Structure 1
Amino acid sequence: MNPNAEHHSVAIVGGGQAGLSLSYYLQQRGIDHIVLEKRSPLHAWRTQRWDSFCLVTPNWQCKLPGWEYAGSDPHGFMKKDEIIEYLDGFVKHVAAPVRSGLTVQRAAPRAGGGFEIATSQGHYSADQLVVASGGYHQPIIPRLAERLPRDLLQIHSEQYRNAQALPPGKVLVVGNGQSGAQIAEDLHLAGRQVVMATGDAPRCARFYRGKDVVDWLADMGYYDMPVHEHPLREGVRDNTNHYVTGRDGGRDIDLRKFANEGMELYGLLNGLEGDTLHFNPDLRANLDHADRIYNGINAAIDKHIEKAGLDVPPPSVYRPVWEPAAERTRLSLRESGIGAVIWCIGFSPDFSWLDAPVFNGRGQPGHVRGVTALPGLYFIGLPWLHTWGSGRFSGVARDALYLAEQIEARAPVAGTPAARELAEPWLS
């Protein structure tokens, strides 16, 4: 224990939308707290999005606490500069007690309760600790990348800005999740020749039977479903996001359509021999899987419409507009003219700074709605922490309110023996 540590009732690690949302509710309750942020509040939104980035969920789902979307286009999709403007307003609205530019190097429970926190700018202590740093910390780039030619530009999706910033030649996009599919579309629309290595990412329709699919799913209660009621239970946290876009007012992303227009599609990238990439022969299966999910979501909407007796446009089923003539499993980088590779296979969490017995064998924290088995330790802002919206603008307020209530229930009342016992080590 460091006797010079600055003490607070609650320490929040991370100044993104989750940490600031919790700060909003703690301020309402008059609970002393500090937000420790490595860079600046909501830094990732300013630096880790490409130029044409826009929301894939409609604006009405932007429901940060006390700061819901109030613009003129609730069913539109904010572009990058509009998102930043919205978030800048939220930062000012919350006015959280943030300490920016410091890195939390280690946090651990201390004997007798509370937590010790070592940072790059001194020591802190807290009665309760909230991890609000999210789950997207380390860009995933496979070891295979180390063996690619040194003159071949390689970047992660978080580094991509626009097609013009890439060198001449074809662009290999590895991964067809939400980022991969949208980046591939951005390149394709810019006239770049794209080669895509696909995986088993699902897709969904943008609009169906007269309404945005998100609106239908909201009507069906999907976004209120807690993780313990989902058919996959906690396994849903490992799911890849459905690919779709809000670009130009919103539309489907159909890789088959792109293939008809010249995009080269392959199966899962699985190896490298010399300068030749190897792919699994599963392109057809990957495309069929995505379409099966697409049609399955629409079929669920059909049942909802029928049960409610709604008068809306008739149902439809997606039919493939392109089929691979054969599975291609090899591609020479030099012969094909690939000049850049964009790795779009996600991020991995890094909670190595947190020395607490709450993690499973995969490095994931165990919790129930963000509350861990270690008294006073919480998580917020993780995908499917409680519902689909937990890691998004739409659901983080609900999680933040719940945790604020849990924190308030554990906070000792000033002047009581419990409060004096917790404060004693810092009183001198």
Structure 2
Amino acid sequence: MTVEKTEVLVVGGGQAGIAASEHLGRAGVPHLVLERHRIAERWRSERWDSLVANGPAWHDRFPGLMFDGLHPDAFPGKERVADYFVAYAEKIGAPLRTGVEVLSVRRNEGRAGFTVETSQGRIEALNVIAATGPFQRPVLPAIIPAMPGLTQIHSTAYRNPGALPEGAVLVVGAGSSGAQIADELLASGRRTFLSVGPHGRPPRRYRGRDFVWWLGVLGKWDIPAPQPGTEHVTIAVSGAGGGETVDFRRFAARGMVLLGRTEGWRDGRLSCAGDLAANIAGGDADYLSVLDEADAYIARNGLDFPQEPEARRIGPDPDCLTRPIRALDLAAEGITTVIWATGFALDYGWLKVDAFDDRGKPRHQRGVSSEAGIYFLGLPWQSRRGSSFIWGVWHDARHVAEHIVTRRVYGAYQGHAERRPGES
């Protein structure tokens, strides 16, 4: 049986895989990109209908291509984002195959490289880049037992309010996904409950600039590692409706019921932590700290940016904040759907190599793993705060490609037979 061979196999045809292909192609490194579904499939089929990018079009893109026909400050919808990656793959001539699932990757014994079993046969590669990103396996906590009349889904399965059963909805998780879904449900007329944990809450815009610009000029995208204890703090930011600052107090003023973190299930009720006020205060502090740093930057650089004193106005505490609900009777409140916006776990079960710690997390330095020839792309904080964003993964892919090229040069060296200095 003929076995296909390539120098680099890239697993995943989303933003990470396409970025890797561009840099490998520029360096003249033979490679192949495999995607088990369509290009950028998760943008199309694992997100809700109204989703838009969390950053404006001028920012959330690769350097080599703009969003055609879209205002730079607009927020592209999910289909536009997926189409963008299709166009980019065509632009760079990425050697990409769709509909091919990678089943396993194992190191060869007694010879270089890896054997890769796929749904369409075997491939041998000297290097493998796991470019499957951070959104691999939805986390759906086993807190509320299955019961008649209650639908429980992860945010990846949510599409729109009309697709849910009639009744009130509880959204668990107040990062970008949870906040946006809860806002949409509330606007549709649904009675909506939102469980809010610790979070960051940046301003969408301030003094004429989007928050992505502020994070750039303030050097925050390049922070190399999160502060201790903040590795998993979610960020509540949204490009929906043209981009507005997420404000949980404003949600409550419109009728949303806020809860603390979801803790457990007891006697037919959902128990909630008494941390709602602290979580909201923490988000407010994060928000105001960005305004403070932005003001200092403007003053330091003598910039003539418009004043925006109203941005510092924090609304009054809603009743659900001053008198928090500690136990929620779902049936009594008419809740028929629970949406778990609780993030994702990594899933590298197909990667049968020694590149993981005892918790199953990749061991790597800027994507270069502890297993020679294995690389990772698209991980949160892979090299900096911006690593899991579209533009950030592009820069990480360049580093990974350069590492492969360097190893390639050393591997190609055959030595010289001429006499060395001092030899007779």
Q: TM-score, normalised by structure 2?
A: 0.91
Distance 1:389 1:102 in 2: 29
Question: For residues 257 and 315 of structure 1, what CA distance do their matches in structure 2 show?
Answer: 19
Match of 1:253 in 2: 246
Distance in 2 of aligned mates of 1:364 and 1:328:
36
Q: Distance in 1 between matches of 2:395 and 2:39?
A: 20
Q: Does 1:391 align with 2:388?
A: yes
CA 1:78–1:153 in structure 2 vs 1: closer, same or farther (change >3 Å)? same
Q: Does 1:119 align with 2:129?
A: no
Are positions 1:402 and 2:399 aligned together? Answer: yes
- Whether 2:117 is the aligned partner of 1:134: answer no
Distance 1:248 1:98 in 2: 34
Which residue matches 1:325?
A: 322
Distance in 1, matches of 2:367 and 2:187, equals: 41
Amino acid at match of 1:261: R
Counterpart contact for 1:376–1:410, Cα < 8 Å: no
Aligned residue among 44, 47, 61 for 1:63: 61
Output aligned runs, 1:19-98, within 5 Å.
19-98=17-96
Q: Structure 1, residues 256-304: CA drift from partner, whole Å, max 9, x if none?
A: 1111121111111111124311111111111111111111121121221
Partner of 1:423: none
Aligned partner of residue 394 in structure 1, secondary structure: helix
Q: Which residue of 2 aligns with 1:187?
A: 185
Cα offset, 1:59, TM superposition: 1.0
Give CA-to-partner distance per residue, 1:49-94, whole Å, 9 cap, x none.
Answer: 2111111111111332522335451122112333233233223223
**Do the aligned partners of residues 414 and 378 (structure 1) sit closer, same or farther apart at CA in structure 2, a change above 3 Å counting?**
closer
Match of 1:280 in 2: 273
Cα distance 1:128–1:231, how it changes in 2: closer, same or farther (>3 A)? Answer: closer
For residue 321 of structure 1, what is the amino acid of its counterpart? Answer: P
Return the alpha-carbon distance in structure 1 between the equivalents of residues 52 and 281 of structure 2: 27
- Equivalent pair of 1:51/1:161 in contact (CA under 8 Å): yes
- Residues 128, 42 of structure 1: CA spacing in aligned structure 2 closer, same or farther, 3 A cutoff? same
Q: Distance in 2 between matches of 1:150 and 1:107?
A: 42
SS in 1 for 2:369: coil
Deviation readout 1:170-228 (Å, 9 max, x if unpaired)? 001011011000000111111111011111122111111222222122222322x151x
Percent identity of paired positions between Structure 1 and Structure 2: 37
CA displacement at 1:328 relative to structure 2: 1.2
**Which of 253-262 and 406-415 deviates more?**
406-415
The equivalent of 2:421 in structure 1 is none
Residue 68 of structure 1 aligns to a residue in which SS?
coil
Task: Describe the SS at the equivalent of 2:322.
Answer: coil
Aligned partners of 1:59 and 1:52: how far apart in 2?
A: 16
Alignment gaps of 5+ in structure 1: 419-428
Aligned 1:28-427 pairs, distance under 5 A: 28-111=26-109, 112-145=111-144, 147-223=145-221, 225-227=222-224, 230=225, 232=227, 238-314=231-307, 316=309, 317-323=312-318, 324-411=321-408
- Give 2:125's aligned amino acid: A
Partner of residue 421, structure 1: none
Is the contact between residue 21 and residue 65 of structure 1 (CA under 8 Å) also seen in structure 2?
no
Flag the 1:129–1:231 CA change in 2: closer, same or farther, 3 A. closer
In 1, Cα distance between equivalents of 2:4 and 2:70 = 45
Q: TM-score normalized by structure 1?
A: 0.90
How many angstroms apart in 2 are the aligned matches of 1:213 and 1:104? 38
Residue 329 of structure 1: how far off its partner (Å): 0.7
Cα distance change on mapping 1:378 and 1:322 into 2, 3 Å: same
**Residue pair 1:113, 1:127 contacting (<8 A) in 2 also:** yes
User: Which amino acid in structure 1 is aligned with residue 377 of structure 2?
Assistant: I
**Equivalents in 2 of 1:81, 1:31: separation in Å?**
31
Contact 1:55 1:77 in 2 (8 A): yes
Aligned mates of 1:165, 1:203 — CA distance in 2: 29
For 1:190 and 1:40, how far apart are their aligned partners in 2? Answer: 31
Tell me which amino acid in the other structure corresponds to 1:402: H
Deviation at 1:48, TM superposition (A): 1.5
Structure 2 CA distance for aligned equivalents of residues 125 and 226 of structure 1: 37
Matched letter for residue 319 of structure 1:
I
Residues 1:162 and 1:53: Cα distance change in structure 2 (over 3 Å): same
Distance across 1 between alignment mates of 2:79 and 2:377: 26
Deviation readout 1:97-129 (Å, 9 max, x if unpaired): 223222222212223321111222221111111
Deviation at 1:415? 7.8
